């Protein structure tokens, strides 16, 4: 019997006594520093002080558990001696299961209402609305299953708890009911699959429909630990890049020598986008995998070095509207990095601002091109000489 010898062991007792002594001493003498220790004041005599308190607490709890165990044991024995029944643990556990069910269901409900109100607002993009719809359908279906199965599980435990007089019902199988509960989930899942499959196809079908105006191209490039943005200039076209040309001044490796479309490409600090316009995000990475994640728009796609990808979406709610809706005047949409990429992964973001078309044009006009004076100078210098070098590169490939 575990508790018994735990308690009767002299070593244990003396250990606890030592802890108690040490603990009270510490507490008495160090009321103030103990608090300081928690906040990390360098002046504390020892970093062990705070933890010692918790270890003491732990010892006390163990001690209490030991005592309770002992009492239960004694109670059991005395009941037996008196010819009465000892504690029926099956009943205790059965009741606990029931309590857990009720408390758990309440806890889940509480979490749904409190935490559930902290989740993202409704999607701020066209395809996002479809995703939300799918999400709520799935949630309702799964929550029904969740509640029913958990209730069955724990009520069965209570209802069929051990009773020496009873015998279990011998029921090895029942083909009908087994078929039912194979086919029922299969049907539900088929519905979800079909639903999901078509939505998925719509979202990933990225060909511009006929007659639709072309999407606005925006380049986003991840590197440790920031996002770089590039907008096409007046020509509406993004110029070519070549990773071998990346330098401190030419951060994205724009290929000025080869592609004239690069000349008017703009750099930006904020991803400003016009509302209700189709946007095509071209996603790149320079070093490791990153992930463009814009949860409010239900947009996510990995940025993989050497494998450019893109995501098309249409924002529908401007930042200003969202601020009003959320009652938060400082609200900003953000793009996060959502694929582990190194130490500062947790702080790799860019502000996304959805504005009206007019504001967008005005903003675009103020952005600076990648072709800075420095680059121009470099380029002039380079245009004469490295033509040969360029050739060699091409041959190497």
Residues that bind Cu ion (CB under 5 A): 290, 337, 341, 348
Q: What SS3 class is residue 334?
A: strand
Restricted to residues 282-301, the positions that interact with another protein (CB under 8 A) are 283, 286-289, 291, 293, 295-296, 298-301
Output the CA–CA distances (angstroms, integers) from residue 296 to 111, 290, 300, 348, in the order listed. Answer: 22, 18, 10, 17
Enumerate residues 6+ apart whose C-beta is below 8 A from 342.
224, 225, 288
Distance CA 38, CA 48 (A): 10
The least distance separating another protein from the CB of residue 155, rounded to whole angstroms, comes to: 10
Neighbours of 120 (CB within 10 A): 11
Q: Does 230 bind another protein (CB under 8 A)?
A: no
Min dist. Cβ of residue 249 to another protein (A): 9
Kindly tell me which residue out of 23, 33, 253, 369 binds another protein, with binding defined by CB under 8 A. Answer: 253
105 touching another protein, by CB under 8 A: no
Residues in region 320-379 near another protein by CB under 8 A? 330, 332, 334, 336-347, 349
Least CB distance from residue 184 to Cu ion, whole Å?
24
Note whether 163 binds another protein by CB under 8 A. Answer: yes
Q: What is the smallest separation between the CB atom of 362 and another protein, expressed in angstroms?
A: 26
Of residues 215, 276, 282, 302, which one binds another protein by CB under 8 A? 302
The residues, ordered by sequence, that sit 6+ positions from 235 with a Cβ below 8 Å of its Cβ are 261, 264
Q: Which of 203, 229, 272, 273 binds another protein (CB under 8 A)?
A: 203
Tokens of 142: 């799964």
Tokens of 247: 């330098």
Output the smallest distance, CB 138 to Cu ion, in A: 18
Q: Is 168 in the site for another protein (CB under 8 A)?
A: yes
Question: Within positions 44 to 73, which residues make up the interface with another protein, using CB under 8 A?
Answer: 44, 47-48, 50-51, 58, 61-62, 65, 69, 72
Nearer to Cu ion (CB atom), residue 203 or residue 348: 348
C-alpha 356/C-alpha 319 separation (Å) is 10
Residue 113, contacted partner among another protein, Cu ion, none, CB below 5-8 A by kind: none
Q: What b/e string do you get for 214-248 counting C-beta neighbours within 10 Å, with b at 16 or more? A: ebbbbbbbbbbbebbbbbbbeeeebbbbeeebbee
223 binds another protein (CB under 8 A): yes
* Residue 118 partner contact from another protein, Cu ion, none using kind-dependent CB cut-offs of 5 to 8 Å: another protein
Q: Please list, in sequence order, all residues whose beta carbon lies within 8 angstroms of the beta carbon of residue 215, skipping any fewer than 6 positions away.
A: 208, 277, 278, 279, 280, 312
Closest to another protein by CB, 251 vs 264, is 251
Residues 107-136 that bind another protein (CB under 8 A): 107-108, 111, 115-116, 118-120, 130-131, 134-135
Kindly indicate which of the ranges 21-29, 212-220, 280-288, 371-379 contains the residues binding another protein, using the contact rule CB under 8 A: 280-288
Q: Which of 164, 177, 360 is nearest to 274 (CA)?
A: 360
Q: Is 274 exposed, middle or buried (0-12, 13-18, 19+ CB in 10 A)?
A: buried
Helix (H, G, I), strand (E, B) or coil at 263: coil
């Amino acid at each position: 019997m575990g508790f018994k010898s735990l308690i009767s062991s002299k070593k244990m007792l003396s250990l606890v006594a030592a802890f108690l002594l040490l603990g009270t001493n510490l507490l008495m003498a160090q009321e103030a520093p103990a608090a300081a220790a928690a906040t990390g004041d360098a002046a504390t005599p020892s970093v062990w002080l705070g933890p010692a308190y918790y270890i003491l607490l732990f010892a006390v709890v163990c001690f209490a558990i030991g005592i309770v165990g002992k009492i239960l044991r004694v109670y059991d024995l005395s009941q037996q001696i008196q010819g009465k029944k000892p504690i029926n643990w099956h009943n205790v556990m059965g009741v606990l299961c029931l309590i857990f069910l009720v408390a758990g269901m309440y806890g889940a409900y509480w979490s749904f209402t409190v935490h559930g109100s902290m989740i993202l607002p409704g999607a701020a993009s066209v395809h996002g609305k479809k995703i939300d719809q799918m999400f709520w359908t799935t949630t309702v279906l799964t929550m029904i299953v969740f509640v029913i199965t958990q209730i069955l599980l724990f009520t069965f435990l209570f209802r069929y708890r051990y009773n020496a007089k009873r015998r279990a019902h011998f029921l090895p199988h029942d083909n009908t009911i087994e078929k039912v509960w194979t086919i029922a989930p299969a049907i539900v899942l088929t519905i979800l699959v079909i639903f999901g499959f078509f939505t998925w196809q719509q979202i990933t079908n990225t060909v511009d429909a006929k007659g639709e105006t072309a999407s606005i191209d925006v380049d986003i490039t991840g590197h440790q630990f920031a996002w770089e943005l590039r907008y096409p200039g007046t020509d509406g076209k993004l110029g070519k890049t070549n990773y071998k040309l990346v330098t401190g001044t030419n951060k994205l490796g724009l290929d000025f020598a080869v592609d004239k479309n690069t000349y008017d490409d703009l750099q930006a600090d904020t991803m400003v986008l016009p509302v209700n316009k189709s946007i095509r995000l071209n996603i790149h990475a320079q070093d490791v995998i990153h992930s463009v994640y814009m949860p409010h728009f239900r947009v996510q796609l990995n940025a993989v070095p050497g494998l450019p990808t893109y995501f098309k979406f249409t924002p529908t709610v401007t930042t200003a509207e969202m601020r009003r809706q959320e009652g938060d005047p400082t609200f900003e949409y953000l793009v996060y990095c959502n694929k582990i990429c190194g130490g500062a992964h947790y702080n790799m973001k860019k502000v996304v601002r959805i504005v009206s078309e007019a504001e967008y044009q005005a903003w675009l006009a103020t952005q600076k091109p990648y072709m800075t004076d420095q680059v121009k100078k470099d380029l002039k210098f380079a245009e004469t000489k490295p033509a040969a070098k360029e050739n060699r590169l091409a041959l190497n490939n």
